[in-house]
Chain A
Amino acid sequence: MDKIIEQTDIDRVDGIQKVTGTAKYSAEYDFPGMVYGVLATSNITKGIINAIDTKAAENAPGVLAVITHLNCPELPGYKSTPEQDKLVPTKKGYKVFADNIIRFNGQPIAIVVADTFERATHAASLIKANYTKEKHNTDFDEAIKSGTPLEGNNFKEYVRGEANAWINAPVKIEAEYTMPIEVHLPMEIHGITVVWDGEDKVTLYEKTQSLSGTQRNIVRTFGLKEENVRIITQFIGGAFGSAFNTWPHSMAALIAGRKVGKPIKLMLTRNQMFNLVGYRPEAKQKLGLGASADGKLMGITHEAIAMTASYNEFTEGIVNGSRSLYECPNVNTTYKVFPLDLSQPTWMRGPGETTGAFALESAMDELAYALKMDPIEFRLKNYAETDLERKKPYSSKYLKECYELGAEKINWKERNPEPRSMKEGDWLIGYGTGSGIFSAWRGAAKAVAKLLPDGTMILQSGVTDMGPGTATAMTNLAAETMGLSHTKISFEMGDTNLPPGPMQGGSGTTSTLGTAVFAACENMKKKLAAMIKDNAVFHTEIVHEVKVEDLVFENGYMMLKTDKTKKISYAEVIKSAGLSELEISEDSKGNPMLNHSAFSYAVHFVKVKVHSKTGVIKIDRAVSAVDAGKIINNKTAESQIIGAVVGGIGMSLMEEGVIDHRYGRWVNNNFADYHVAVNADVPNIEVLFVDKPDPVLNPIGAKGMGEVGIVGFAAAVTNAIFHATGKRIREIPVTADKLI
């Protein structure tokens, strides 16, 4: 497929709002009579609440209500059914204030509502609970040693060809890779503003990546009518997967708001961001790789162990990449998950694949060294031309181009493969690479386009934008498709009163919503053409009726292809038809991809400097080459990859969630102790796109973008550290003390 649209990369449509502070986030809405909710949380890890003393809190100045499990109203969604009662604990979930059971340290035990945030905070500190403690376990190693993994369909072994074939290969490696809990920690702390209108109608300003998902959860829990639950999410200050669930604090705010009958606001603390809105689970992975002497993969065995909460079965595709990234006849994977007495993990950027790629791509580097082969050459030797797992051709695959683009940019050929051979002054120099794969897909979405008599267009969809620039990309797409200046297009989003849009996540938003927007624009053009087919402007002696094929759409005008002086503006068409607007509603069905497999790819190249004495590590260069299909807007796309790489730097060098297992309690749950990369840690990140459209997935040619940007990055860093120092670190984050 050729370029469908001419590229002009418009600036972020909401950029000025964001940098001037006029963009409103969920905790920034104010209403008359606003009250504030603050959570009191448990300081034990497992047990039951025997008694809870709320008197002091209730009597504190400004307090309107204190809600605990003792006085929480019975909600329709809280009633258990006989089927639910039969479920194993990890399938039962946890509902805030539904019972007196403590499942993790820092679990909400009460919400205090007061007239100011400070008074609510103070009153919450006065709540005292009396517990019966039970023995807890938050230690992953201990669970692996003496616990029982979960059972069920999510944990089936995968075997292709012969299991454990790597053992019999002439060249082989086996290694274990570990990574700790990682936390999303977007700059915007999770917040919610709730405005009840009576007992049965509510509006939420909520940080959510899925408006319809949140609406569904609230409808179900409170037994409300769908049309009576409105969710508004105009802006999200980052989420990375932490805003899909309707978390306990949101339910608590809803319960409290209805009880006091006033608009209520609740914002978590930074400390609470570590255990109330999910995290990436800790994992241990064993990789066995074997190849022929000339570097053809003969066997891949990938065994992953991860953790979840005692009340929630969270699973993700940690081992999936190993089944399809390379051509290998014999692959077997296992995946085990152990429950712990911790809060629940959730999706985090590049879920599953990011964890898996750290192990697989480290192991590929180790085997390349064992083979004395260049790591890129080794990967090319095992390039998968078809998806052997699903036995389907790829919709498009430009991974080879990613290797080439990135290697060229970082000057890979100048790399001396010998470990510890390259130096700059006191610094050891290393180059490493790691690849990433992530599913590309297209779901169902609705979009509405309205052309107005003044020639402007409004697009509408109930999607949210957590930062990737969905509004910008959709405006860009519509401008190019419609032949209309982007300044004449506004994109309305973030409201369930709009046509239902897709969730934001899984790298599917552009593919999904873009398809609906593109179709709406195409149909709009057809409709416009039909409206002017008899218009005298276009008539010549031989042409008395124009068809859409005869026209070009440019700059707000329909023009005759053969004679661009014959033209009419969209505005004129709407006006002369006497319409107040011309509306096209597009219901896009999604693409089940029955005959193809679709993936996005990224190849990361990293140059590190390791101080030869102190072990201090610096990322000196980062080059990421990405096949994400057709790029709709280069600026926002580049920003997405930059953001992902910054996350990758944190993951590989500093991020580590730490729990003191004696208490089951977090010990580094703040920004001073849990380190994310700061500007000084981040070099100039160079992003390259193959920018070739996928001809199958959707009509706009775009695949996914945000997730794959972090997948494989951590391995690129640890591989570069090996090249620099000769030390293979299989445990991230890699800190200076591991290198001295």
Chain B
Amino acid sequence: MINFEYIRASSVKAAVDALAKNPTGGFIAGGTNLIDLMKRGVTVPTRLIDINNLPLKEIEESKTGISIGALAINSEVAENELIKNNFPLLSMAFAAGASPQLRNMATVGGNMMQRTRCTYFYDTTMPCNKRQPGTGCGALNGYNRMHAIFGTSEKCIAVHPSDMCVALAALNATVEVSGIKGERKILFTDFHRLPGETPDKDNTLQKGEIITGVTIPFNSFNKNYYLKIRDRASYAFALISVAVALEIKDGIIKKASLAMGGVAHKPWRLTDAEKYLIGRPVDPGHFQKAAYLAMKGAKGYGQNNFKLKMVPIAINEALTKAIA
């Protein structure tokens, strides 16, 4: 581990300024991923700016929705009555993520910023375009059981590991960020990005920006389900996860929002499946058709070929469970 400077920021502005003065620095909140990355030499910040004292922990209701501070702890958000009542999907996704110990440390902003768990990304002796652009992708022809089948590039087939983000993508959330140039909002579905030619960039955050919170608009979804298929019952990243939010009235699907985890470089919205489902009656045949439509453009890389078969099953099962 290389020596680094550690400072505590007392305000959002101070945090942003501190990073601007030292672009090779970084923010630390829960540290559940950053410490791992630093131990393995993947991330080598010269300055750690501790943002835990910033007033960004509140969960607040407004007329149009609920905003969650970037420093709200995962387990607290999951158990919050406002969240449980308005966005049960988000609570379910939190409960499926990591382990209780990690959920007690991890923050909402940190969860969004966590990096892929791709083994080649973590081992600094291996090729990885995300960690070191130009070195190649170790996973492409290697150990890729956990890897993406949607939106990949020849440069990177890593997946985003979060459960929370899958639910937030389905719930049409907005990310609030602050930077030297002021504040701005980013649609949650635009926050994370696909690898393309620059897999080193996980998201659309600009240099020096800090996440201050997430806002979720109120919705009319009356059927919600988060399905996570994983290799063990807890403390495992998703092979596949599916977030389902439906509004059903008189047996007709009025609104549908579906997103998946474990299949792409970002939370993967199933827009074709959503479009198909809206306006149709609740029916197993339609669920199957929607699951089929969701597979457009899917591509396996060897060890993850099973996902091509498992994804439609998972979508179908999540829809079935949501209406049960």
Expressed in whole angstroms, the Cα–Cα distance for A672 and B99 within the complex equals 11
Q: Which of B15-23, B186-194, B266-274, B309-317 contacts A (4 or more CB under 8 A)?
A: B309-317
Determine which of A122, A665, A736, A737 lies in contact with B125 in the assembled complex, contact meaning CB atoms within 8 Å: A665
Residues of B within 8 A of A654 (CB): 231-232
Determine which of A616, A672, A735, A737 lies in contact with B117 in the assembled complex, contact meaning CB atoms within 8 Å: A672
Cross-chain contact B313 with A122 (CB below 8 angstroms): no
Residues of B within 8 A of A679 (CB): 234
Cross-chain contact A616 with B229 (CB below 8 angstroms): yes
Expressed in whole angstroms, the Cα–Cα distance for A737 and B310 within the complex equals 7
Determine which of B41, B123, B309, B314 lies in contact with A665 in the assembled complex, contact meaning CB atoms within 8 Å: B123
Whether, in the assembled complex, A613 has its beta carbon less than 8 Å from a beta carbon of chain B, the answer is yes
Cross-chain contact A680 with B143 (CB below 8 angstroms): no
Cross-chain contact B126 with A663 (CB below 8 angstroms): yes
Determine which of B41, B143, B314 lies in contact with A125 in the assembled complex, contact meaning CB atoms within 8 Å: B41
Q: Which of B218-226, B235-243, B256-264 contacts A (4 or more CB under 8 A)?
A: B235-243
Cross-chain contact A667 with B41 (CB below 8 angstroms): no
Cross-chain contact A667 with B237 (CB below 8 angstroms): no
* 8 Å CB interface, A678-728 against B: 678-681
Q: CB-defined interface of B1-22 with A at 8 Å, one 1/0 digit per residue?
A: 1110000000000000000000
Determine which of A613, A614, A668, A681 lies in contact with B143 in the assembled complex, contact meaning CB atoms within 8 Å: A668
Whether, in the assembled complex, A169 has its beta carbon less than 8 Å from a beta carbon of chain B, the answer is no
Greatest chain A CB density within 10 A among B2, B41, B233, B234 is at B233
Cross-chain contact A678 with B233 (CB below 8 angstroms): yes
Expressed in whole angstroms, the Cα–Cα distance for A625 and B291 within the complex equals 46
Whether, in the assembled complex, A43 has its beta carbon less than 8 Å from a beta carbon of chain B, the answer is yes
Whether, in the assembled complex, A533 has its beta carbon less than 8 Å from a beta carbon of chain B, the answer is no
Q: CB-defined interface of B296-324 with A at 8 Å, one 1/0 digit per residue?
A: 00000000001001100110110000000
Determine which of B1, B2, B125, B233 lies in contact with A681 in the assembled complex, contact meaning CB atoms within 8 Å: B233
Whether, in the assembled complex, A200 has its beta carbon less than 8 Å from a beta carbon of chain B, the answer is no
Whether, in the assembled complex, A294 has its beta carbon less than 8 Å from a beta carbon of chain B, the answer is no
Output the least CB separation between A337 and chain B (Å).
Answer: 25
Q: With contacts A613-B316, A737-B310 known, is A662 near B142, CB below 8 A?
A: yes
With CB as the reference atom, state the residue of chain B lying closest to A662. B142
Residues of B within 8 A of A614 (CB): 227, 229, 310, 313-314, 317
Q: CB-defined interface of A607-633 with B at 8 Å, one 1/0 digit per residue?
A: 000000111101000000000000000
Residues of A within 8 A of B125 (CB): 43, 663, 665
Output the least CB separation between A117 and chain B (Å).
Answer: 10
Cross-chain contact B239 with A667 (CB below 8 angstroms): no
Whether, in the assembled complex, A673 has its beta carbon less than 8 Å from a beta carbon of chain B, the answer is yes
Cross-chain contact B232 with A672 (CB below 8 angstroms): no
Whether, in the assembled complex, B119 has its beta carbon less than 8 Å from a beta carbon of chain A, the answer is yes
Whether, in the assembled complex, A740 has its beta carbon less than 8 Å from a beta carbon of chain B, the answer is yes
Whether, in the assembled complex, B179 has its beta carbon less than 8 Å from a beta carbon of chain A, the answer is no
Whether, in the assembled complex, B138 has its beta carbon less than 8 Å from a beta carbon of chain A, the answer is yes
Expressed in whole angstroms, the Cα–Cα distance for A346 and B276 within the complex equals 56
Q: With contacts A737-B239, A740-B313 known, is A680 near B233, CB below 8 A?
A: yes
Determine which of A121, A665, A667 lies in contact with B1 in the assembled complex, contact meaning CB atoms within 8 Å: A121
Whether, in the assembled complex, A150 has its beta carbon less than 8 Å from a beta carbon of chain B, the answer is no
Main DSSP-derived SS at the B contact region: loop
Output the least CB separation between B128 and chain A (Å).
Answer: 12
Whether, in the assembled complex, A677 has its beta carbon less than 8 Å from a beta carbon of chain B, the answer is yes
Residues of A within 8 A of B229 (CB): 614, 616, 736
Whether, in the assembled complex, A658 has its beta carbon less than 8 Å from a beta carbon of chain B, the answer is yes
Expressed in whole angstroms, the Cα–Cα distance for A678 and B234 within the complex equals 7
Residues of A within 8 A of B1 (CB): 118, 121-122
Expressed in whole angstroms, the Cα–Cα distance for A19 and B149 within the complex equals 46
Expressed in whole angstroms, the Cα–Cα distance for A42 and B125 within the complex equals 10
Residues of B within 8 A of A575 (CB): none
Output the least CB separation between B226 and chain A (Å).
Answer: 14
Cross-chain contact B317 with A740 (CB below 8 angstroms): no
Cross-chain contact B235 with A736 (CB below 8 angstroms): no
Q: With contacts A613-B317, A663-B126, A668-B119 known, is A681 near B232, CB below 8 A?
A: yes
Expressed in whole angstroms, the Cα–Cα distance for A384 and B69 within the complex equals 68
Interface residues on chain A, size class: 20 to 34
Instruction: Report the interface size for chain B: residues with CB under 8 A from the other chain.
Output: 33
Main DSSP-derived SS at the A contact region: loop
Cross-chain contact A675 with B231 (CB below 8 angstroms): yes
Q: CB-defined interface of A627-661 with B at 8 Å, one 1/0 digit per residue?
A: 00000000000000000000000000110001010
Output the least CB separation between A638 and chain B (Å).
Answer: 23
Cross-chain contact A660 with B138 (CB below 8 angstroms): yes
Residues of B within 8 A of A740 (CB): 306, 309-310, 313
With CB as the reference atom, state the residue of chain B lying closest to A660. B142
With CB as the reference atom, state the residue of chain A lying closest to B324. A426
Expressed in whole angstroms, the Cα–Cα distance for A658 and B303 within the complex equals 12
Expressed in whole angstroms, the Cα–Cα distance for A125 and B1 within the complex equals 8
With CB as the reference atom, state the residue of chain A lying closest to B127. A663
Residues of B within 8 A of A662 (CB): 141-142
Output the least CB separation between B275 and chain A (Å).
Answer: 24
Output the least CB separation between A157 and chain B (Å).
Answer: 36
Cross-chain contact A667 with B313 (CB below 8 angstroms): no
Expressed in whole angstroms, the Cα–Cα distance for A679 and B99 within the complex equals 11
Residues of A within 8 A of B120 (CB): 667
Residues of A within 8 A of B235 (CB): 678, 680
Residues of A within 8 A of B233 (CB): 618, 678, 680-681
Residues of B within 8 A of A681 (CB): 232-234
With CB as the reference atom, state the residue of chain B lying closest to A649. B232
Expressed in whole angstroms, the Cα–Cα distance for A15 and B72 within the complex equals 38
Residues of B within 8 A of A665 (CB): 123, 125-126
Q: With contacts A614-B310, A667-B143, A668-B119 known, is A680 near B232, CB below 8 A?
A: yes
Residues of A within 8 A of B309 (CB): 737, 740
Expressed in whole angstroms, the Cα–Cα distance for A679 and B231 within the complex equals 14
Expressed in whole angstroms, the Cα–Cα distance for A118 and B2 within the complex equals 9
Q: With contacts A122-B1, A672-B237, A740-B309 known, is A735 near B143, CB below 8 A?
A: no
Residues of A within 8 A of B232 (CB): 653-654, 675, 677-678, 680-681
Output the least CB separation between B203 and chain A (Å).
Answer: 22
Output the least CB separation between B41 and chain A (Å).
Answer: 7
Residues of A within 8 A of B231 (CB): 654, 675, 735-736
Expressed in whole angstroms, the Cα–Cα distance for A677 and B236 within the complex equals 11
Determine which of A122, A616, A660 lies in contact with B2 in the assembled complex, contact meaning CB atoms within 8 Å: A122
Q: CB-defined interface of B119-141 with A at 8 Å, one 1/0 digit per residue?
A: 11011011000000000001001
Determine which of A658, A667, A670, A680 lies in contact with B234 in the assembled complex, contact meaning CB atoms within 8 Å: A680
With CB as the reference atom, state the residue of chain A lying closest to B320. A613
Residues of B within 8 A of A658 (CB): 143
Q: A-B pairs with the 4 shortest C-beta distances?
A: A680-B233, A737-B306, A680-B234, A43-B125
> What are 22 of the A-B contact pairs (CB < 8 Å)?
A122-B1, A122-B3, A614-B314, A614-B317, A618-B233, A660-B138, A662-B141, A663-B126, A665-B123, A665-B125, A667-B142, A672-B117, A672-B237, A673-B119, A675-B236, A681-B233, A736-B231, A736-B310, A737-B239, A737-B309, A740-B310, A740-B313
- Write the residues of chain A forming the contact surface with B, with a CB cutoff of 8 angstroms: 43, 118, 121-122, 125, 613-616, 618, 653-654, 658, 660, 662-663, 665, 667-668, 670, 672-673, 675, 677-681, 735-737, 740
Beyond A653-B232, A678-B99, A678-B234, 7 additional contacts (C-beta under 8 Å) are A125-B41, A614-B229, A616-B229, A665-B125, A678-B235, A679-B234, A737-B310
